[in-house]
């Protein structure tokens, strides 16, 4: 009996119908999904990635992998480097620039972050929720000769280990917190990283009580972070301001840092 294909109402898959039975929807754009998966694998690699690594990582045949890689290479979005590994090509710059442009945060966040750097000399940032992720929306490098590295705009993940992430989780509805941890593992970044859910919930309760969050070398060894919320006028729980400081000067200047962040977080700043 011959099988026939029918488009589903949403137009995203075809139903394979044999007699009166619907076998299983099949993706209409499987090649696109695979190509995007390869592009993500290339972007996540440190020094490029080999075809063999891609086939093993994505479970694709060598023939399919080569076909998709050549297609991506022809667009200029990936290229082969001198070590015969695939890296991002110049066409990826347009995507990166578009990402930063479309992620552009409200201008008030930039003003607040820059004021923190001016007042403390330390690296500062603003973070918020985007599509269920805690994302760095604006960052500024510190002015001190020895300071914390500037995290890139768009950086996400590890909310349980970051001052900004813990603060946003503490201020979020419990359903948002549950949804976050359904798709994010509490991985250990340093020996101080909290990886137990119950212990983290206790930490979030303490954060709500005191009104600010501290990362005590939980994300990077040798660095401590402080984050405070921007509150009022519908901003509560949406954005936070943070500062990243080498541990050896965090305690000494803590009161000053907290005062500067609290002032920058004023609604009418």
* Structural domain count of the chain: 2
Q: Please check whether residues 169 and 80 belong to one and the same domain.
A: no
- Residue by residue, DSSP assigns 226-255 as EEEE--STT-TTTEEEEEEEEGGGTTTTHH
On whether both 249 and 144 belong to a single domain, the answer is yes
Q: Give yes or no: residues 232 and 169 share one domain.
A: yes
CA angle 105, 138, 257 (to 5 degrees): 125
Task: Please provide residue 251's backbone torsions phi and psi, each rounded to the nearest 5 degrees.
Answer: -65, -45
Q: 240 and 156: one domain?
A: yes
Cα 237 from Cα 162, distance rounded (Å) = 16
Report pTM.
0.64
Q: Hey, how many other C-beta atoms are within 10 angstroms of the C-beta on 111?
A: 13
| 269 residues of the chain, pLDDT tens digit each | 444 444 443 334 444 444 444 444 555 578 888 998 999 899 888 889 999 999 998 999 999 999 999 999 999 999 999 999 999 998 888 787 676 566 556 677 889 999 999 999 999 999 999 888 999 999 998 887 655 566 788 888 899 999 999 999 999 999 999 999 999 999 999 999 999 999 999 999 999 999 999 999 999 999 999 999 987 645 567 899 999 999 999 999 999 999 999 999 986 76
In three-state secondary structure terms, 200 is helix
What pLDDT is attached to residue 103?
56
Furthest-apart CA pair in the chain: how many Å?
79
Question: What CATH number should be reported for the domain holding residue 23?
Answer: 1.10.10.10
Same domain, 248 and 175: yes
Round to whole Å and give the CA distance between 35 and 67: 10
Residue 269 within a domain? no
Please provide residue 94's backbone torsions phi and psi, each rounded to the nearest 5 degrees: -60, -40
Q: Answer yes or no: is 95 within a domain.
A: no
Domain boundary among the residues 90, 108, 136 is at 90
Q: Give the total residue count for the chain.
A: 269
Domain encompassing residue 239:
100-264
Residue where a domain terminates, one of 55, 90, 125: 90
């Amino acid at each position: 009996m011959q099988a026939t294909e029918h488009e589903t109402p949403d137009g995203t898959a075809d139903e394979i119908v044999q007699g009166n039975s619907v076998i299983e929807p099949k993706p209409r754009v499987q090649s696109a999904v695979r190509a995007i998966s390869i592009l993500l694998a290339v972007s996540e690699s440190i020094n490029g990635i080999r075809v063999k690594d891609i086939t093993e990582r994505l479970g694709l045949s060598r023939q399919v992998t080569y076909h998709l890689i050549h297609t991506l290479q022809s667009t200029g979005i990936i290229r082969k480097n001198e070590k015969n590994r695939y890296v991002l090509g110049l066409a990826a710059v347009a995507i990166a620039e578009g990402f930063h442009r479309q992620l552009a945060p409200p201008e008030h966040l930039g003003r607040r972050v820059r004021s923190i750097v001016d007042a403390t000399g330390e690296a500062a940032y603003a973070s918020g929720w985007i599509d269920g992720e805690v994302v760095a929306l604006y960052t500024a490098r510190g002015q001190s000769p020895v300071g914390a590295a500037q995290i890139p705009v768009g950086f996400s993940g590890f909310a349980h280990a970051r001052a900004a992430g813990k603060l946003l989780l503490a201020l979020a509805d419990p359903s948002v917190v549950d949804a976050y941890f359904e798709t994010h593992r509490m991985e250990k970044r340093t020996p101080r990283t909290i990886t137990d859910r119950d212990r983290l919930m206790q930490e979030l309760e303490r954060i709500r009580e005191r009104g600010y969050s501290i990362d005590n070398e939980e994300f990077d060894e040798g660095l401590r972070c402080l984050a405070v919320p921007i509150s009022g006028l519908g901003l509560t729980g949406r954005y936070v301001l943070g500062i990243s400081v080498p541990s050896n000067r965090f305690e000494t200047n803590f009161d000053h840092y907290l005062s500067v962040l609290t002032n920058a977080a004023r609604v009418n700043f």
